[in-house]
Structure 1
Amino acid sequence: MKRREIEEDNYDDVLADEGTDDEAQNDAEGNDADEDMVEAVIVTKPSNYNVTVGRTVRLECKVSPDESVVVQWSINNIGHYIVMSKPFDYKIDMTGDKLSVPANSTDLLITDVKSSDGGAYKCELMQNGRPSIVHNLAVLESPRISKFSANDNGQVIEGSDLLLTCEVSGSPPPKIVFSKGAENGNVRLTEKDGEFSLNTVEIKNVKREHSGKYYCYAFNGVGTHQAEVEVVVKGKPHVHVHRTVVNSAINMEAVLQCAVHDEPDAHIRWYKDGQLISSASRQYVVSTSGQHSNLTVTPAVDEDFGTFTCEAENEQGKHNRSIELVQRPVVENLEAEGTKLSWTVHSHQPLQEIEIQIRELTGAGEWYAIQVPVPKERQHEYNLSYALDIDNGKYEATVKVKNDKSWSEHSNTIVVDIEVEPQLIQHASVYRASAHSFVSSSLTILTALIYVFVRIVIESIGHLVKSCLGGGVMAIHESYKHCGLWTSVVLTILLGMFVSYCMLILAQSAQKIYGRVQVPAMSYPDLAEAALETGPFTSLRKYSKCFRYAVDFTICVDLFGSCCVYQIMISRTIKQLVEGTNEISSEGTPPLRVYVACLVIPCVLICMITTLKYLAPFSIVADVFIVTCAGATIYYAVKTATISPVDFPVFKTVPGLFEFMGVCVFSMEGVGVTLAIENSMAEPKKIPIVLVGGMSIVVSIVLTVGFFGYWGFGEKSKSPVTLNFPLEPFPIALKVLMAFMIYVTFALNFWVPFDLVWFYIKQRYDASKYWLWERVYRAIFVIIITIIAVIFPAVTKFIGLLGSFCLSNMGFIYPAFIELCLDWNDPGLGIMRWRLWKFVVILIFGTILCIVGTYSNAKELISEVF
């Protein structure tokens, strides 16, 4: 095939030249070219393509017939890309290697897609009528905040306006959320806080409380990005004093305190009766530390008492508050509770009189005094109370106190509402009212508590147990056989506690990030990406997407691997029932691998169900069946056991230990559903109760099947545990039901990872063809799963491998790293950096389990094949 480079975009001239040559040839041969010419048509339909930045996309333009046809590709009606002719190819490539046409094709291939590559791509036939199609290419790009800033570099004067600007790019155009940092998480800014435009928010008349960190959070369904800016509101200082009147005595030291809320820093001065107190004064001692200042006064004579003023001044202005240093008593905090009044008195001098003044609330009556007994013990601070014995009604009351110097000022005035039943009525009804009130109130409260507990906690515990229990439980007893009975029992409890704790820190980390980025819920991959993106390690933020993909990959390997395990369990059960013997092996006629291979068609068919709601009810039935199997295991184990549990070996081998740990973690790991359960709870703060209750049930079931399964069936234990049951009517029914339940669970487990993978795959195809390609890929993935199960039919080794590799990462290492990212700055690493050391311990354990456990189980798995 010949190639000819064309220097200009005049495609009509090319066609004309070609046509002249053809006509001359046809005339010489005596043929009429016009009569033999067949008009070509484009058979491809116009489509909308969505592609992520950096990917490669192929725009189709199939032509029929494709002989001697010239095709022109153009973007946005600018024809400069490619011209192709057959049998002679003519090509123009104005953009280097980025745009190309694959061999023997009229499609357009665009590599390393950029944002600028989006637009309308036109494929046009250079013939009469110029038939054409137009593909629309939309380039998807994660949000990227190029600049997030505040006016005046974040140094804003109190009373002025604050303008926050967030410049963001991405496709589709990202949505922007502004928020402000607070003690218990970020608070989203709303229209009540300021005026919003496309990418700005303006807060009018800012005050001191507007100081702090502001966040811009951008998201568009492709990814997320966050930036922050520090805002400092500068204004005149504000002086605060805890007490405006302080009691003291001659030669009695008094400390007057004031606090200054300021930005920028203010200069603090003290005055006495309007006269500046010198810092060199011996009579007064001024001590200032940061925003707090104390004035220590030791009065020697009556004239040393008076009004002291704390004044603060900065470049924006000044402010002051006064404190009276007096010898008279000071009465504070008068309160009423029924007929009881309570108040506080400060006096260094002995008290002489205490008087309550009271009158009817109408204000028309006169005040009358009630004398209160004076405390016998002398103190500097008195917490006093008095029960009023007056008629029913509403009153206003105040208190004043006298010491050996003078009367105090009146306290604050309060309203007292007296409602006391007459004494005889009280005695007559006390038992009836008390009994009725107690029973009624108790029943109401108890009913409400039970309802709330059942509705919020029990329901969530049920979801957790349902999600954690799976096929691994049916094989745990065989891993006990490889590790040793009593070592396995202890490790089951310890690993259960460890798994539960890591699930808890994942849920708590999610609750922290919700407040910071102001989103109501996140998936596990979302949380991983957001934690690294908003974390303290700025050099790692660019890898936040990689962290997300790592979590996605681990989840997919774990759940697709579980599907392999389920196929092997079903096959082993069917093989035993067909052969009619309790002995089961991978060999025989036909071998186990044939049974596994025969499952490919049933598994493909059930995986064609693309709606989860049709499969979810079977999950509950499957878990009820697992509990039934646990009970049956106890029954047949006790019936079959020939030796005491104490005669079993405590520990066997190190490879057996790591196989057990992998299977055990796999059997009770629920980290993948932790966030889903936490998001669905009405009160997410109760997630610790749910985890404790749910995981206690899960660990108990795992421990029951493992202990009794190994004790009863000993060294001949087989997986699943139902294979050890006798071939009698009831056990056979259990085995058949177990195979069916695992078959349905296969589809449930397959749905989650495939939905995750399909999100990335479908971007390569037109939306109108999703229904077809989704089913094609479902079949492909089931076939791949079956092939892996055929190659490696050793069920416990396979489970141990999945538990060691997948669960060590997604169950231990990932949650610990996410928590470290979120806690690094707030609340910090703690005393002696204990949070960092906790992460190191979890990391070491997870890494050892991942490396040693994966190697040990993989080695055993491969050795059984070869």
Structure 2
Amino acid sequence: MLNVVDGENNDYDPFANRSVPHPTSDLDTLIHLLKGSLGSGILAMPLAFKNAGLAFGLIATCLIGLICTYCVHILVKCSHKLCKRTQVPSLGFAEVAETAFLAGPESLHKYSRLAKFMINAFLVIDLLGCCCVYIVFVSTNLREFLGPYLDGPNFDLRLYMLALLPLLIPCNLIRNLKYLAPFSMVANILMGAGISITFYYILTDIPPIDSVAPIAEPQHWPMFFGTVIFALEGIGVVLPLENNMKTPNHFIGCPGVLNFGMFIVVLLYSATGFFGYLKYGDLTQGSITINLPQDTLAGMVKLMIAVAIFFTYSLQFHVPMEIIWKNAKHNFSTKNEIFGEYGIRIVLVLMTVGIAIAIPNLGPFISLVGAVCLSNLGLIFPAIIETVTYWDHPGMGKFSWRLWKNIFLFTFGIIGFVTGTYVSFKEILEMYQ
């Protein structure tokens, strides 16, 4: 039974009651935040700018980054308030949603389990969707690297995806996250090196600014929104990071770990999108590495990116598998648990490869994942959670400004969700016509 007390007047300090065996420092948390936010999405930012235009893309990316960061602030502050109100030391994303409904208006208590289920469902769909995108990224870059030795770009991309299966399955049978840490380190080094060399190509012989459109046609904007949300939104990793900090009060605030980390993320994504689109213009591809020339150094970049994203797949796969297994393990006897878990892991890997084979067009796929999942997780749900958290308590503010602000965030998220999903599906369907 949830123990709810007056969150404004009780002296409970959730930070003081947390028992974390190996707490992370501010620097550790910043590094993990950057790792969680700087992924394959950065390679798709030039395509996002192509769908927005150079000037509009730069302004809109910064604004979306600001809104996403603010929504993370909302989620973390609600987590702190609900921890005090229920006298628990920490809460995860889905638990924050469940607790908000249980501690909020009585009429909403019955929806608490639904709220938790919705968060977990979108997290699973989002992270498995990212795994599908990773398969397309890896296969595309491998084809670019191996093309000169095989049949060039005419070699079917789907065959590369199938060829990954014998490697993907054993890698994703690893159950302990500790054994994935070396792969994470290798992935970070390769991704950092690959992006650095990519910038060398992008910043060489840059065309004049007026060589590309400052603003694209509005019908392309939803693709931009979905891609940028996919690239920027790392809300799924935020609360686990904050819950494991040695000084969690340093996470939000000014400057704060979150603000500093997101500033770096938005800066890097904006620079990649701006200069990548300026360099390649209308020829910009779903992954900027595809635009690199066919020389030895560029070939090594494509290989490094492919290997880095391949290793990242296993890390990304771990979280949805944990959520699924937690809810499925009771269906197996103790004797058959290990076989049940391995079976689910294999089925999920086969499913992600199957979806990637069905939708090998990188741009619409990325936009679809961003629009469907991350507009909900990053914009809509934080607005709903804050509204429910403050509904029966002081804090809606003068003229109910917090309510109106959350209505704006909710509406913005819904518009992005609907338009982004529609345009992405439309482009995917056009592939088969």
TM, length-normalised to structure 2? 0.92
Task: Look up the equivalent residue of 1:631 and give its one-letter code.
Answer: S
- Report the 3-state secondary structure (helix = DSSP H, G, I; strand = E; otherwise coil) of the residue aligned with 2:403: helix
Question: Does 1:722 pair with 2:289?
Answer: yes
Q: Is the 8 A contact 2:131 2:313 kept in 1?
A: yes
Q: Is the 8 A contact 2:230 2:369 kept in 1?
A: yes
From 606, 609, 613, give the equivalent of 2:174. Answer: 609
- Report the 3-state secondary structure (helix = DSSP H, G, I; strand = E; otherwise coil) of the residue aligned with 1:615: helix
Q: Is the 8 A contact 1:800 1:853 kept in 2?
A: yes
Aligned equivalents of 1:186, 1:530: Cα separation in 2: 19
Question: Does 1:571 pair with 2:139?
Answer: yes
Q: Is the 8 A contact 1:655 1:857 kept in 2?
A: no
Where does residue 148 of structure 2 map in the other structure? Answer: 580
Aligned equivalents of 2:83, 2:74: Cα separation in 1: 14
For residues 440-486 of structure 1, give each alpha carbon's deviation from its aligned partner in whole angstroms, at most 9, with x where no partner exists. xxxxxxxxxxxxxxx84333221111111111111111222222111
CA gap 1:185/1:644 in 2 versus in 1, 3 angstroms: farther
Question: Does 1:738 pair with 2:295?
Answer: no
- Report the 3-state secondary structure (helix = DSSP H, G, I; strand = E; otherwise coil) of the residue aligned with 2:214: coil
Which protein is richer in helix relative to its size?
2
CA gap 1:607/1:837 in 2 versus in 1, 3 angstroms: same
Aligned equivalents of 1:617, 1:504: Cα separation in 2: 31
Which protein is richer in strand relative to its size?
1
From 804, 812, 835, give the equivalent of 2:379. Answer: 812
Q: Is the 8 A contact 2:144 2:302 kept in 1?
A: no
Question: Does 1:655 pair with 2:222?
Answer: no
From 766, 769, 788, give the equivalent of 2:333. Answer: 766
Aligned equivalents of 1:785, 1:762: Cα separation in 2: 21
For residues 114-158 of structure 1, give each alpha carbon's deviation from its aligned partner in whole angstroms, at most 9, with x where no partner exists. xxxxxxxxxxxxxxxxxxxxxxxxxxxxx5xxxxxxxxxxxxxxx
For residues 828-851 of structure 1, give each alpha carbon's deviation from its aligned partner in whole angstroms, at most 9, with x where no partner exists. 311111011011000110000011
From 453, 459, 463, give the equivalent of 2:28. Answer: 459
Aligned equivalents of 1:614, 1:702: Cα separation in 2: 30
Aligned equivalents of 1:507, 1:662: Cα separation in 2: 24
Where does residue 540 of structure 1 map in the other structure? Answer: 108
Which of these two proteins has the greater Rg computed from alpha carbons? 1
- Report the 3-state secondary structure (helix = DSSP H, G, I; strand = E; otherwise coil) of the residue aligned with 2:204: helix
From 200, 224, 235, give the equivalent of 1:635. Answer: 200
Give the deviation of 1:618 after TM superposition.
3.0
- Report the 3-state secondary structure (helix = DSSP H, G, I; strand = E; otherwise coil) of the residue aligned with 1:685: helix
Q: Is the 8 A contact 1:668 1:698 kept in 2?
A: yes
- Report the 3-state secondary structure (helix = DSSP H, G, I; strand = E; otherwise coil) of the residue aligned with 1:519: coil
For residues 360-399 of structure 1, give each alpha carbon's deviation from its aligned partner in whole angstroms, at most 9, with x where no partner exists. xxxxxxxxxxxxxxxxxxxxxxxxxxxxxxxxxxxxxxxx
Task: Look up the equivalent residue of 1:682 and give its one-letter code.
Answer: K
Aligned equivalents of 2:224, 2:98: Cα separation in 1: 32
Aligned equivalents of 2:185, 2:392: Cα separation in 1: 42
Question: Does 1:754 pair with 2:327?
Answer: no
Query: Where does 1:80-91 land on structure 2 (aligned, <5 Å)?
Result: none
Aligned equivalents of 2:122, 2:52: Cα separation in 1: 26
Q: Is the 8 A contact 2:371 2:421 kept in 1?
A: yes
Give the deviation of 1:815 after TM superposition.
0.8
Give the deviation of 1:180 after TM superposition.
4.9
Aligned equivalents of 2:296, 2:27: Cα separation in 1: 35
Aligned equivalents of 1:577, 1:183: Cα separation in 2: 59
From 539, 559, 567, give the equivalent of 2:127. Answer: 559
- Report the 3-state secondary structure (helix = DSSP H, G, I; strand = E; otherwise coil) of the residue aligned with 2:275: helix
Query: Where does 1:50-129 land on structure 2 (aligned, <5 Å)?
Result: none
Where does residue 413 of structure 1 map in the other structure? Answer: none
Where does residue 399 of structure 1 map in the other structure? Answer: none
Query: Where does 1:503-542 land on structure 2 (aligned, <5 Å)?
Result: 503-536=72-105, 538-542=106-110
Q: Is the 8 A contact 2:146 2:152 kept in 1?
A: no
Which consecutive aligned stretches of 4+ in structure 1 deviate over 6 angstroms post-superposition? Answer: none
CA gap 1:622/1:705 in 2 versus in 1, 3 angstroms: farther
For residues 650-677 of structure 1, give each alpha carbon's deviation from its aligned partner in whole angstroms, at most 9, with x where no partner exists. 1222332111111111111111111111
Task: Look up the equivalent residue of 1:616 and give its one-letter code.
Answer: A
Q: Is the 8 A contact 1:804 1:850 kept in 2?
A: yes
For residues 212-232 of structure 1, give each alpha carbon's deviation from its aligned partner in whole angstroms, at most 9, with x where no partner exists. xxxxxxxxxxxxxxxxxxxxx
Give the deviation of 1:624 after TM superposition.
4.1
Give the deviation of 1:626 after TM superposition.
3.4
Where does residue 859 of structure 1 map in the other structure? Answer: 426
Q: Is the 8 A contact 1:466 1:620 kept in 2?
A: no
Task: Look up the equivalent residue of 1:511 and give its one-letter code.
Answer: H
CA gap 1:516/1:182 in 2 versus in 1, 3 angstroms: closer
Aligned equivalents of 1:828, 1:584: Cα separation in 2: 61
TM, length-normalised to structure 1? 0.47
Q: Is the 8 A contact 1:791 1:865 kept in 2?
A: no
Question: Does 1:183 pair with 2:2?
Answer: no
Aligned equivalents of 2:373, 2:238: Cα separation in 1: 16
Question: RMSD of aligned C-alpha atoms?
Answer: 2.1
CA gap 1:785/1:848 in 2 versus in 1, 3 angstroms: same
Give the deviation of 1:489 after TM superposition.
0.9
Task: Look up the equivalent residue of 1:636 and give its one-letter code.
Answer: Y
Residue correspondences, number: 420
CA gap 1:672/1:556 in 2 versus in 1, 3 angstroms: same
Task: Look up the equivalent residue of 2:69 and give its one-letter code.
Answer: S
Q: Is the 8 A contact 2:5 2:86 kept in 1?
A: no
Aligned equivalents of 1:860, 1:480: Cα separation in 2: 17
Aligned equivalents of 2:131, 2:58: Cα separation in 1: 27
Q: Is there any run of 5+ residues in structure 2 with no aligned partner, and where?
A: 14-23
Q: Is the 8 A contact 1:622 1:741 kept in 2?
A: yes
From 29, 36, 45, give the equivalent of 1:476. Answer: 45
Q: Is the 8 A contact 1:509 1:822 kept in 2?
A: yes
Give the deviation of 1:726 after TM superposition.
2.4
Identity of aligned residues (%): 32
Query: Where does 1:205-220 land on structure 2 (aligned, <5 Å)?
Result: none
For residues 507-564 of structure 1, give each alpha carbon's deviation from its aligned partner in whole angstroms, at most 9, with x where no partner exists. 111011111111111111111101111112x222111101111101100111000011
Q: Is the 8 A contact 1:510 1:522 kept in 2?
A: yes
Q: Is the 8 A contact 1:504 1:687 kept in 2?
A: no
CA gap 1:626/1:490 in 2 versus in 1, 3 angstroms: farther
Q: Is there any run of 5+ residues in structure 1 with no aligned partner, and where?
A: 1-142, 144-176, 189-454
CA gap 1:629/1:546 in 2 versus in 1, 3 angstroms: same
Where does residue 598 of structure 1 map in the other structure? Answer: 163
CA gap 1:699/1:767 in 2 versus in 1, 3 angstroms: same
Give the deviation of 1:826 after TM superposition.
2.7
Q: Is the 8 A contact 1:180 1:186 kept in 2?
A: no
CA gap 1:616/1:634 in 2 versus in 1, 3 angstroms: same
Query: Where does 1:269-308 land on structure 2 (aligned, <5 Å)?
Result: none
Task: Look up the equivalent residue of 2:246 and give its one-letter code.
Answer: A
Give the deviation of 1:857 after TM superposition.
0.9
From 90, 114, 118, give the equivalent of 1:550. Answer: 118
Q: Is the 8 A contact 2:7 2:82 kept in 1?
A: no
- Report the 3-state secondary structure (helix = DSSP H, G, I; strand = E; otherwise coil) of the residue aligned with 1:858: helix
Q: Is the 8 A contact 2:191 2:304 kept in 1?
A: no
Question: Does 1:781 pair with 2:359?
Answer: no
- Report the 3-state secondary structure (helix = DSSP H, G, I; strand = E; otherwise coil) of the residue aligned with 1:727: coil
From 243, 250, 271, give the equivalent of 1:686. Answer: 250
Task: Look up the equivalent residue of 2:101 and give its one-letter code.
Answer: L
